[in-house]
Amino acid sequence: MDVPRRDDEVEGADGTPVGRRAALGLLGLGAAGVVFGAGVQERIARLLAPIAARDPTGLTQLIPGAGGFRIYTVTGSLPNRSRAAWKLKVHGLVDHPFTIGYSELVEMEPTGITADFQCVTGWRVQDVRWKGVKLADLLERAGVQDAGSHLRLTSFDGAYTESLTLAQARRDDVLVAYEMLGKGVSSEHGGPVRLYVAPMYGYKSLKWLETIEVVDELIPGYWEERGYDVDGWVGRSNGRSDDPPEVHGS
């Protein structure tokens, strides 16, 4: 799929730009008039390398590409919500709509998964540890009505959305995740709570999760409206990889 690319922007989800404002935010630069050209990721990495060496606390995660991950946000900014302020609303075609907070979520039965994380653009991070609650358990609590067939998920970034069929959502390897990489999901990785759809490309794993709505039709997500497969199975959809990652529970 062809997406226009501007020179002053950092590469995003599928080679599309993250946006200059986000890049400035990542760098902690507020300065107006900073112009990014080609090779910006390399220059950011070079610029931050000495700082990162002195500060192993997580700054390196903010360098695009560091640790294998790239930080994606389609809005051009990184939303931030504390655990205390975070709430997830489960509603739509359900008998018992509810809202759940962070502390209640982490008291539910946890599931751990270790698997490769793969973006449709080709980058992959091996053996990422995740922990969260099965999406199936939240749906069970809500009591999905017979008319429900799909989910529509939204993010508190105000823009990103995703879709799943109910069958996909009820898989054991689909989590509402509050831990990633062995610690709480960091803000830039979509914390305090994000979706994790282990068998599918990264775009299905919506960050900054805010609502889950049971609906009676497919409502394509953000990237799906822009040409990506709704069924984003690794190796079996219009991505680049042909070998699915290993998924094993833990």
Ligand X SMILES: Nc1nc2c(c(=O)[nH]1)N[C@H]1C(S)=C(S)[C@@H](COP(=O)(O)O)O[C@H]1N2
User: Footprint of ligand X on this chain (CB under 6 A)?
Assistant: 13, 69-74, 119, 155, 157, 160, 189-190, 202-203, 205-208
- Work out whether 245 is an interface residue with Mo ion (CB under 5 A): no
Residue whose CB is less far from Mo ion, 86 or 117? 117
- Work out whether 119 is an interface residue with Mo ion (CB under 5 A): yes
Q: Which does 73 bind (CB under 5 to 8 A by kind): Mo ion, ligand X, none?
A: ligand X
Binding characters for Mo ion, 6-25, by CB under 5 A (x = yes): -------x------------
Q: Which does 206 bind (CB under 5 to 8 A by kind): ligand X, Mo ion, none?
A: ligand X
Q: Which does 130 bind (CB under 5 to 8 A by kind): Mo ion, ligand X, none?
A: none
Tell me the closest approach of the beta carbon of residue 47 to Mo ion, in angstroms: 25
31, 89 contact by CB (below 8 A): no
Tell me the closest approach of the beta carbon of residue 203 to Mo ion, in angstroms: 5
- Work out whether 142 is an interface residue with Mo ion (CB under 5 A): no
Give 13: exposed, middle or buried? Use CB within 10 Å, 0-12, 13-18, 19+: buried
- Work out whether 156 is an interface residue with Mo ion (CB under 5 A): no
Residue whose CB is less far from Mo ion, 199 or 202? 202
The alpha carbons of the chain give a radius of gyration, in whole angstroms, of 18
5, 17 contact by CB (below 8 A): yes
Q: Which does 86 bind (CB under 5 to 8 A by kind): ligand X, Mo ion, none?
A: none
E strand or H helix at 107: helix 102-107
Tokens read off for 41: 């990721």
Helices assigned H by DSSP within 13-90:
20-27, 40-54
At residue 64, what are phi and psi to the nearest 5 degrees? -55, 125
Query: 194-206 burial, b if ≥16 CB within 10 A, otherwise e?
Result: bbbbbbbbbbbbb
Angle at the Cα of 84 (from 80 to 87), degrees rounded to 5? Answer: 80
Tell me the closest approach of the beta carbon of residue 15 to Mo ion, in angstroms: 10
Give 87: exposed, middle or buried? Use CB within 10 Å, 0-12, 13-18, 19+: middle
Q: Which does 74 bind (CB under 5 to 8 A by kind): Mo ion, ligand X, none?
A: ligand X
Q: Is 16 helix (H, G, I), strand (E, B) or coil?
A: coil
Footprint of Mo ion on 29-58 (CB under 5 A): none
- Work out whether 202 is an interface residue with Mo ion (CB under 5 A): yes
Residue whose CB is less far from Mo ion, 12 or 191? 12
Binding region for Mo ion (CB under 5 A) = 13, 119, 202-203
